[in-house]
A = this chain, B = another copy of it.
Amino acid sequence: MTFANVGTLGAVPGRRDELVAQLTQRSDELREAGCLAYEVGVSDDAPDTVFVVELWQSADAHQASLELPQVRAAIAAARPLLSGEFGGFRFDVIGSPLRD
Contact residues of A with B, CB < 8 Å?
A: 2, 4, 6, 8, 20, 23-28, 30-31, 35, 37-43, 46, 51, 53, 55, 89-100
Q: How far is the CA of A23 from the CA of B99 in the complex (A)?
A: 12
Residues of B near A26 (CB, < 8 A) are 97-100
User: Which of B25, B46, B91 sits near A42, CB closer than 8 Å?
Assistant: B91
Give how many copies assemble into the complex. Answer: 2
User: Which of B28, B35, B91 sits near A41, CB closer than 8 Å?
Assistant: B91
13 residue pairs of the A-B complex, CB under 8 angstroms, read A2-B41, A4-B39, A4-B51, A4-B53, A27-B97, A37-B37, A37-B98, A38-B98, A39-B55, A41-B91, A42-B91, A42-B94, A51-B89
Q: Would you call A20 and B91 a contact (CB within 8 A)?
A: no
